[in-house]
């Protein structure tokens, strides 16, 4: 019964958020807004069409068509990778950033959270985070976690670096999500009976 109730509430929350997304000015489809939002929170290793496909669970064709529309409307730009010319990086334009600032988080969510007691906000975030991690693990999905929580992040004297790429990272970059994120596993403890 708990699973059915949880599904009902999550589905309804998703419907309300998507309905709010359809009210954006100018009009955008929810998937277009989701792509722009993703690009606003991902790092330089994860700003590709392939990463968007993985993150949103969409087909390559849908992602390609949607990105073309967003580019033609001036919300994002494409740039060929300097090291690997087969890779395209996507960057929000000022117009795209301005649209997100006016649209996210959705007002319906803001109003709903304002009705909850402040002490429940942290509990809600923790529960949703745990649920997301469990679902991603069960599906074998990548975590797309925040860089600063990744096992590959190395703190150095002058800042941070990624052990996967060997590149230095600015402090702000450690706050972004990464396609290659590795979630630390909780320590195994021996239970004495």
Identify which of 157, 159, 158, 187 has the alpha carbon closest to the alpha carbon of residue 174: 159
Q: What is the separation of C-alpha 96 from the centre of its chain, rounded to a whole number of angstroms?
A: 16
Same domain, 66 and 131: no
For the record, the structure tokens of 35 come out as 């792509």
Considering the domain boundaries, does residue 184 fall inside one? no
Same domain, 88 and 135: no
Same domain, 40 and 79: yes
Angstrom distance (rounded) from CA 43 to CA 147: 8
Considering the domain boundaries, does residue 11 fall inside one? yes
Looking at the 3D structure of the chain, how many domains does it have? 2
Same domain, 100 and 142: no
Same domain, 15 and 32: yes
Last residue of a domain, one of 108, 135, 156: 108
CATH assignment of the domain containing 25: 1.10.10.10
Q: Are residues 88 and 81 in contact, defined by beta-carbon separation less than 8 angstroms?
A: yes
Q: What is the pLDDT along the chain (193 residues), one digit of tens a residue?
A: 799 999 999 999 999 988 888 888 888 899 999 999 999 999 999 999 999 999 999 999 999 999 999 999 999 999 999 989 999 999 999 999 999 998 888 889 999 999 999 889 989 999 998 999 899 889 988 889 999 999 999 998 888 999 999 999 999 999 999 999 998 776 555 555 4
């Amino acid at each position: 019964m708990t699973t059915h109730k949880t599904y009902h509430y999550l589905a309804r929350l998703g419907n309300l958020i998507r309905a709010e997304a359809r009210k954006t000015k100018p009009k955008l489809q929810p998937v277009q807004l989701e792509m722009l939002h993703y690009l606003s929170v991902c790092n330089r290793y994860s700003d590709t069409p392939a990463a968007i496909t993985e993150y949103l669970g969409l087909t390559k064709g849908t992602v390609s068509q949607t990105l073309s529309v967003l580019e033609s409307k001036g919300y994002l730009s494409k740039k060929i990778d300097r090291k690997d010319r087969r890779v395209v990086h996507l960057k929000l334009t000022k117009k795209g950033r301005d649209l997100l600032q006016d649209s996210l988080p959705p007002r319906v969510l803001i109003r709903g959270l304002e009705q909850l007691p402040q002490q429940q906000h942290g509990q809600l975030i923790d529960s949703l985070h745990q649920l997301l991690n469990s679902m991603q693990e069960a599906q074998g999905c990548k975590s797309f976690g925040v860089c600063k929580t990744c096992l590959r992040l190395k703190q150095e004297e002058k800042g941070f670096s990624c052990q996967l790429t060997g590149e230095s990272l600015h402090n702000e970059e450690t706050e972004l999500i990464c396609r290659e994120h590795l979630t630390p596993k909780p320590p195994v403890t021996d239970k004495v009976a």
